[in-house]
């Protein structure tokens, strides 16, 4: 087998791709890596070519070469730190990569300046700068004050370029980390609640809190606008006629409709427990901002959670609910029984400005689903919304009654991820806010 040299780039490129790419999908990546590396080397050249391009004579370049070799030979524990830095070749790139890996292990969330200083220390940039002072003195001895200083200045420029490479490496690593985090957050936002690990669930809880806070904040803004009313141009003109428009006084028309009511029914059975913990975050936020909201949890029985959610933190409220403080949570869900209990005990409180929201997977455990009772509830309210933590593809599988529940509702929304939950929260706000 013939040995490929660097002079014939295309055969070398093909060989590199064959060795590195293990799958067809890896070929474009390997080609880009090869092209990027050799383009960088072609553009940069080596140290002595760069010095010659800046006007250094052949004898001056040779002197620099010899002096750098002497410093490397007699550098002791410091080694060839200056030569590696000013050459900025393969050895420098390798050390730069190792320094980047070390600071990445330490954590890229630290301040940029601190990370750059850590990388500089690991590359020995301060020692290289000190050794450049020794080289300057030898160049002055060899070529006189003026020319020796010029050559030393060229090497200082090379050292500054190496410093710039260090900063660029830190910036690139930080940018890559941020991109990975954005991608991870995006994947997490669209990942189903049921498939979340314990670590992911903790992150999702933080994201759900943000959804709840955004919903609460938007509703408070809308309330302030509603309290002020809508500008009434005609009434403003009529009032201005009395005084000739002095002073000018704007008139706002306030709506006199009654306050809306929001009824939230959340399934907290074992089959939906993981999603229910997250949905209750939004329920508690909705209760805090929507006037007249009443919250309920259910499994086989129905219990009102309005006061519990009002007086406790989300974590404490969920602990009490999971411990059975409102309804027994070890039983199987019975949607038919729960809907009848809700209509029997709270049906008289329903009206045409109210919205009823059911949060549950619609799995009936093969008992009566109560779909007919939903017709009676729907007839009494403005809208009946169902938030289901299972994807639509599972609505007709096993004991799911969602295919029968869906036609009874004004709207059915999938909330199997943070992204879907945020869309549902926005929709809930539009349905239930002041009009």
> In this predicted structure, what is the pLDDT of residue 297?
93
**Mean pLDDT of the region 297-317:** 90
Of 83-97, 180-194, 298-312, the range with the lowest mean pLDDT is 180-194
At residue 339, the pLDDT reads: 96
* Cα–Cα dist 344/341, whole Å: 5
Q: Residue 48 has what pLDDT?
A: 87
User: pLDDT, tens digit, for every residue of 375-416?
Assistant: 999 999 999 999 888 888 888 889 999 999 999 999 998 887
> pLDDT confidence of 435, banded at 50, 70, 90?
very low
DSSP 332: P
* List of E strands, 174-320: 230-231, 252-253, 261-267, 294-298, 302-304
From 327, 259, 328, select the one nearest 296 (Cα to Cα): 327
Query: pLDDT tens digit string along 109-152?
Result: 778 888 888 888 888 898 888 888 888 888 888 888 899 899 98
| Interval 338-379: pLDDT, tens | 999 999 999 999 998 888 989 889 999 899 899 999 999 999
Beta bridge partners of 296: 265, 304
What percent of the chain clears pLDDT 70, i.e. is strictly above it?
Answer: 75
Largest CA distance in the chain: 104
**Whether residue 196 has pLDDT greater than 90:** no
**DSSP assignment of 311-374, as one string?**
HS-HHHHHHHHHTTSSS-SSSPP-HHHHHHHHHHHHGGG--TTEEEEEES--B-TTS---HHHH
Contact assessment for residue 278 and residue 209, using Cβ atoms and an 8 Å cutoff: no
pLDDT band at 218 (very low <50, low <70, confident <90, very high): very low
Cα 195 from chain centroid (whole Å): 18
Q: Is residue 19 predicted with pLDDT exceeding 70?
A: yes
From residue 237, alpha-carbon distances to 48, 231, 241, 254, 434 in Å are: 84, 11, 6, 17, 28
Q: Enter the pTM of the model.
A: 0.54
Q: Is the pLDDT at 59 greater than 70, yes or no?
A: yes
Degrees, nearest 5: CA angle 330-332-333:
120
Assess whether pLDDT exceeds 50 at residue 193: yes
pLDDT of residue 40: 53
Q: Could you give all domains of the chain from N- to C-terminal order, each with its CATH number?
A: 45-190 (no CATH), 207-228+259-432 (3.40.50.410)
The residues facing 302 across adjacent strands are: 298
What residues contact residue 24 under an 8 Å CB cut-off, 6+ apart?
none
pLDDT reading at 97 higher than 80? yes
- With bands split at pLDDT 50, 70 and 90, how would you rate the model's confidence at 434? very low
């Amino acid at each position: 087998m013939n040995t490929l040299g660097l002079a014939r780039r295309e055969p070398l490129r093909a060989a590199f791709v064959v060795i590195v790419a293990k799958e067809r999908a890896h070929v474009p990546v390997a080609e880009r890596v090869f092209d990027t590396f050799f383009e960088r080397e072609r553009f940069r050249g080596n140290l002595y070519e760069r010095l010659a391009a800046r006007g250094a004579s052949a004898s001056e370049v040779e002197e620099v070469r010899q002096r750098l070799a002497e410093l490397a030979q007699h550098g002791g524990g410091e080694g060839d730190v200056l030569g590696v830095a000013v050459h900025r070749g393969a050895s420098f790139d390798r050390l730069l990569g190792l320094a980047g890996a070390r600071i990445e292990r330490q954590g890229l969330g630290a301040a940029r300046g601190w990370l750059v200083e850590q990388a500089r220390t690991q590359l020995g940039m301060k020692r290289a700068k000190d050794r450049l002072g020794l080289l300057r003195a030898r160049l002055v001895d060899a070529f006189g004050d003026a020319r020796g200083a010029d050559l030393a200045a060229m090497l200082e420029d090379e050292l500054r370029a190496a410093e710039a490479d260090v900063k660029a490496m830190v910036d690139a690593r930080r940018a890559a980390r941020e991109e990975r985090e954005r991608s991870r957050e995006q994947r997490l936002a669209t990942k189903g609640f049921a498939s979340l690990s314990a670590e992911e669930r903790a992150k999702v809880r933080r994201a759900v809190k943000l959804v709840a806070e955004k919903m609460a904040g938007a509703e408070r803004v809308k309330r302030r606008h509603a309290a002020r009313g809508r500008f009434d141009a005609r009434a403003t003109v009529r009032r201005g006629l009395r005084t000739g428009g002095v002073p000018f006084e704007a008139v706002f028309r306030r709506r006199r409709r009654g306050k809306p009511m929001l009824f939230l029914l959340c399934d907290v059975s074992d089959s939906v427990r993981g999603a229910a913990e997250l949905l209750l975050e939004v329920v508690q936020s909705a209760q805090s901002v929507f006037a007249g909201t009443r919250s309920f949890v259910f499994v086989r029985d129905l219990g009102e959670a309005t006061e519990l959610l009002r007086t406790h933190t989300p974590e404490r409220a969920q602990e009490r609910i999971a411990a059975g403080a409102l309804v027994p949570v070890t039983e199987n869900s019975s949607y038919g029984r729960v809907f009848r209990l809700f209509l029997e005990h709270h049906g008289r409180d329903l009206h045409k400005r109210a919205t009823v929201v059911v949060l549950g997977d619609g799995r009936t455990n093969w008992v009566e689903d109560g779909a007919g009772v939903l017709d009676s509830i729907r007839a009494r309210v403005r809208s009946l919304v169902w938030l289901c933590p299972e994807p639509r593809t599972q609505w007709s599988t096993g004991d799911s009654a969602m295919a029968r529940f869906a036609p009874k509702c004004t709207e059915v929304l999938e909330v199997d991820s943070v992204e879907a939950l945020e869309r549902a929260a926005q929709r809930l706000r539009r349905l239930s806010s002041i009009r």
